[in-house]
Amino acid sequence: MKVGFIGLGKMGSAMARNLIKAGHKLVLYNRTRSRAEELRPLGAEAAGTPGEAASGVEVLITMLADDRAVEDALLGPGQALQLLPAGAVHIGMSTISVALSRRLAAAHRERQQHYIAAPVFGRPEAAAAGKLFIVAAGPVKQIERCQVLFDAMGQKTFVLDQEPSSANVTKLAGNFLISTTIESLAEAFSLVRKSGVDPNKFLEVLTGSLFSAPVVINYGGMIAANHFEPVGFKLPLGFKDNRLVLAAAEEAAVPMPMASLVHDRFVAAMAQGLGDSDWSAIARISFQNAGLEKAA
């Protein structure tokens, strides 16, 4: 398939590489053009604008940091929405607000285009290995049409329903669970550390018994070591997703007190200069509160 791809950060670059390897023809756009140029030796084209990346393609994929980046690429004058052909599909794989997803669905309908929301679960190493979990919602026939693309990027695709924003709610709820798991691990490790228990032994007990989920293994290992590199998901992006889940909860009249607590952890972490760290570094706030570390 001929695919336009906008957004070549750590996740997007890995996803684009896997699409190229699977034999698809890609036209790439990134605000920092050098990232698109890096993939030209693999057979991809580098576009000068988002609109150029969308022109003449069957499918357009966006993998961008936040609502503003998606709006700038899709909805501005002369941008991708206006140049994407009628009948083409936009697959929004970014973690964005429910409100923006609804706006995109309506805007594409007006231009006789299709829209699928398909955010992903997985860190950059999973993207590189083609092992992402993809959550898709939108027109059933269009999801079936794009399944070959999903198969090149992920290990499993979960299809929800025909309302694209359902996938965005699911992704935000999932990220909320990850962030609260990180917070719970941080509090638990603070307790065992201050009680003189070896954190690595505690991690062994957790992951060898009732808590063997990948999120506990991966983030528990980082928290046990008090080492938050490599950075797979920057802390400000986690903060952004926390704000989005609180906005979705407010709209749906759903109290989420744990999300509010985690919000304060993100604020404190940003205030402590942890903005370049992995989002699991919010654990350091629990360590500081327990007197295990000094504030930066």
* Residue 124: CATH number of its domain: 3.40.50.720
One domain, residues 143 and 79: yes
Under the banding of pLDDT at 50, 70 and 90, the label for residue 294 is: confident
Q: What is the pLDDT of residues 65-101, one digit of tens each?
A: 999 999 999 998 779 999 999 999 999 999 999 999 9
One domain, residues 180 and 148: no
8 A C-beta contact, residue 219 and residue 182: yes
One domain, residues 118 and 205: no
User: Is residue 294 one of the residues assigned to a domain?
Assistant: no
User: Is residue 296 one of the residues assigned to a domain?
Assistant: no
One domain, residues 15 and 136: yes
Give the mean pLDDT of 258-276.
Answer: 97
One domain, residues 182 and 278: yes
Catalytic residues: 171
Residue 293 confidence (pLDDT) = 87
Query: DSSP states of 140-205 as a string?
Result: HHHHHHHHHHHHHHEEEEEE--S-THHHHHHHHHHHHHHHHHHHHHHHHHHHHHHTT--HHHHHHH
33 vs 46: CA distance, rounded Å: 8
What DSSP element (H or E) covers 20? helix 10-21
How distant, in Å, are the alpha carbons of 4, 51, 101, 171, 240 from that of 55?
8, 6, 21, 29, 30
8 A C-beta contact, residue 38 and residue 169: no
One domain, residues 130 and 191: no
Domain assignment of residue 82, given as a range:
2-163
Residue 76 confidence (pLDDT) = 81
Could you tell me the strand order of the sheet in which 2-6 lies?
Answer: 45-46, 25-29, 2-6, 59-62, 89-92, 114-117
Fill in the amino acid letter for 113: Q
CATH number at residue 196: 1.10.1040.10
Q: What is the pLDDT of residues 139-189, one digit of tens each?
A: 999 999 999 999 999 999 999 999 999 999 999 999 999 999 999 999 999
With a pLDDT cut of 70, the percent of the chain lying above it is 100
User: Is residue 205 one of the residues assigned to a domain?
Assistant: yes
8 A C-beta contact, residue 71 and residue 126: no
Total domains, the chain:
2
User: Is residue 132 one of the residues assigned to a domain?
Assistant: yes
Please say which residue of 141, 163, 185 terminates a domain.
Answer: 163
What DSSP element (H or E) covers 218? helix 214-225
118 vs 61: CA distance, rounded Å: 10
8 A C-beta contact, residue 117 and residue 64: no
Mean pLDDT, rounded, of the chain? 97
Q: Give the residue carrying structure tokens 């026939």.
A: 141
Please say which residue of 114, 133, 163 terminates a domain.
Answer: 163
Under the banding of pLDDT at 50, 70 and 90, the label for residue 296 is: low
Give residue 147's Cα distance to chain centre.
19
Q: What is the pLDDT of residues 42-55, one digit of tens each?
A: 999 999 999 999 99
Distance in Å from the first CA to the final CA of the chain: 50
What are the tokens at 225? 């070591």
User: Is residue 295 one of the residues assigned to a domain?
Assistant: no
DSSP strand pairing (114-117 vs 89-92): parallel
240 vs 89: CA distance, rounded Å: 27
One domain, residues 158 and 173: no
Q: What is the pLDDT of residues 192-241, one digit of tens each?
A: 999 999 999 999 999 999 999 999 999 999 999 999 988 999 999 999 99
One domain, residues 129 and 184: no
Give a three-class secondary structure readout of 60-75. EEECCCCHHHHHHHHC
Please say which residue of 144, 163, 182 terminates a domain.
Answer: 163
